Amino acid sequence: MALNIIKQGAEGRLYLGEFKGESCLIKERFVKQYRHPELDTQITRQRMKAEVKASSRCLSAGILAPRILHSDTNTHKLYMEYFGNAQTVKQFIQNTVKVESKSPSDEEQIKQTLIELSARIGCIIGQMHANNIIHGDLTTSNMLINPNPGAKNGYDVIFIDFGLSHYNQAAEDKGVDLYVLERALLSTHSEQDYIFGNILEAYRSECGKDEPAVLAKFEEVRARGRKRTMIG
């Protein structure tokens, strides 16, 4: 059956396909010619396994993530649950702020919408870290807004793309996860500079007993990052 490609990125291609009669998303990680073939195969398999494990751990913890329907390490393809009506959080934020003429009431409504969204994101990341799940690539492109009439405000937030994820209790890894997200937000949504603060506030309520250690490590990582930026 011919596969319908819907996106191609640096790491692979996404196709719309089918597995055992169910519509699904197929992620194919292609060969990186600049890598030694054995190393490329090893890295690809590690990332595929990481995605399968993280998705399973998230779902077991009550955190929404795509169900992995099938994993084929020979063809480097993952078959996963497809959310056909979803958009990325990045798209959602950009569409929300793109109101043609903004009155003060529009601005306030936009801010309240994004504050609600950021609080939900912070809670989910806190739950992930409380279960020692490190995402590894927290950006608004790796989170989905999926319509759900039964959910709060009519949508679910679903985390995706766990290829760089791992399982670790270390406060350092959790702090780095937060720092990666902060840098991504500053790069992509710099005008909505309140988003990360709201995420962090909600995160504190869910991340568990390691909160002080994680936030201390986050500040350390942030300080190191600023020092590197200053030095160049």
Catalytic residues: 137
For residue 11, the 8-state DSSP code is S
Q: How far is CA 189 from CA 43, 109, 119, in A?
A: 31, 17, 16
Sign of torsion over alpha carbons 140, 146, 147, 149: negative
Residue 210 near residue 175 (C-beta atoms within 8 A) = no
Cα separation, 230 vs 224, in Å, equals 10
Please give the sequence-ordered ranges of beta strands (E in DSSP) within the chain, or none if there are none: 4-8, 13-19, 22-28, 68-72, 77-81, 87-88, 133-134, 143-147, 155-159, 166-167
Q: What letter represents residue 127's amino acid?
A: Q
Which residue, among 89, 160, 165, 157, has the nearest Cα to 131 in the 3D structure? 165
